[in-house]
Chain A
């Protein structure tokens, strides 16, 4: 039973990682940028969600506003930071992205204070549900639900809509897509919007789960997100989802069995290094 519980907790975290990593892998697939500044969007979403929730006492409204605010910030980062340096070697946007991440961490500290803020009223945190002996709180249930719903919606969007087709065309060959009349620039904005909305919602969920929103909350998740997309084989969406769930489970078991030798946050990277030494292109890499 204990193992089942570990597995479930691992999968819950895996869903959280999937929300974060899908955005990262989308950005990478389109622009070959390791978008580490996604952490900034994540934390920003969490703060906005918290402020709205504490003012209006409505969590659904908090999610909507946070998602939209994050959805504005992401494309803004693209426009101001990445667009002017797209033709530079890959380390240039990566370092610029790290710059945004570390600067904004201090920025949040400056604006919202160093100690973090809590939700005044967090009903999801205190409500627990039992599933045949395994107890989860409502935030964890919503994490899974949000991941399943949003990722399914995304899959439908990509397969069924014109914009989705344009997107896939741009990812596989931007030049030919442009020749067929796809606005590559619009696809990029859409891409950052989607990635950022997912990150913003993830931010509010993690804020609710810890009942704490603090300036550095995004960075560890974003580092792990990078580990995940590398594990999944950069730009590979199914690989990313598999790697997210796998990492969640590895962490959850590792934090029990490897607790004496390794810090929880380092496990992702141990897993990453071991996998990459065996499969240098990631778990599902080399498929295309």
Chain B
């Protein structure tokens, strides 16, 4: 039972992470290759607070705020550089986060932070993570249908045209980064308390790529597709032992195959089969 609970918790956290990235890359068209850095920022900020004796809920709020604040800073960078330049800058943000954390003794350096207080039991974390996932799914569906979602779409399709017709490109880009990274901070804060131990390597480039794989396999831009992608890529390695041993081989091959045959992911397949768009 414990095992299923922990798989469910991770699946829910991955849904939160993947949907956050999808808001930045899918809705607003800003490719980000460093999403794990914000997951890590949330985890480290929340862990430090909890270790210092701050109450659980407040620690989680701090995790969200810190990740979101850094997200806004990176969003400003996205105003300066575009497209391929931005992809490499966000990748750089990920490496910079790790490079800094690894050398700071107050962040535990390579050993990370351990003995993080954990106020909930396994069921509690599973419910919390699933609750967070449902909230983010609703938020994502709402954003997509709102005026802001259309503005994101305009920015994604043609930034200059959007600016010409009066869309506040800078504001919407920064907002997309804020939303996407704050949700990653939420996932990180829950993760830190649940595992009670965080190390820098949990938030490396491979983790960023794993989140990206979930978005891409599900179908970049589609909320339900991304949920499906996140759940599938979390559960699959658990079902097949082989996949767990060669996770990267399978993830890499999946990215390749999806890009080659259905760049719109599962959502694209659904549309081709049913003729309707997946939300």
Contacts and interface: CB of A to CB of B under 8 A. Distances in A.
Interface in A26-71: 28, 32, 34
Contacts of A270: 92, 96, 99
A91 B25 CA distance: 10
B70 interface: no
Interface string A260-284: 1111111111101100110011000
A263 B205 CA distance: 15
Given A273-B92, A276-B85, A263 B103 contact: yes
User: Chain A: interface residue count, which band?
Assistant: 35 or more
A198 B263 CA distance: 31
A95 interface: yes
B253 interface: yes
Interface stretch (A3-11, A102-110, A149-157): A102-110
B88 A34 contact: yes
A23 interface: no
A93 interface: yes
A117 interface: no
Given A94-B31, A103-B256, A272 B99 contact: no
Nearest to A103: B252
A234 interface: yes
Contacts of A99: 251-257, 259
A266 B92 CA distance: 8
A85 interface: yes
A281 B81 CA distance: 8
A98 B88 contact: no
A270 B252 CA distance: 27
A18 to B, nearest CB: 18
B249 interface: yes
A227 interface: yes
B241 to A, nearest CB: 15
A226 interface: yes
A141 interface: no
B260 A105 contact: no
Interface in A221-273: 223, 226-227, 230, 234, 259-270, 272-273
A216 to B, nearest CB: 10
Q: Describe A's contact surface by its main secondary structure.
A: helix
A272 B89 contact: yes
Contacts of A273: 77, 89, 92-93, 96
A226 B98 CA distance: 18
A92 interface: yes
A90 interface: yes
Nearest to A271: B92
B248 interface: yes
Contacts of B91: 223, 226, 269
Nearest to B101: A263
B15 interface: no
Interface string B209-247: 100100010001000000000000000000000000011
Interface of B: 25, 31, 33, 77, 80-81, 83-85, 87-89, 91-93, 95-96, 98-100, 102-104, 205-206, 209, 212, 216, 220, 246-257, 259-260, 263
Given A92-B259, A273-B77, 15 more contacts: A34-B87, A91-B220, A92-B263, A94-B31, A94-B87, A96-B260, A99-B252, A102-B248, A102-B255, A234-B84, A261-B100, A262-B100, A263-B100, A265-B95, A273-B89
Q: Which 10 A-B pairs have the closest CB atoms?
A: A266-B99, A103-B252, A99-B255, A269-B92, A263-B99, A99-B256, A106-B249, A102-B252, A96-B259, A106-B248
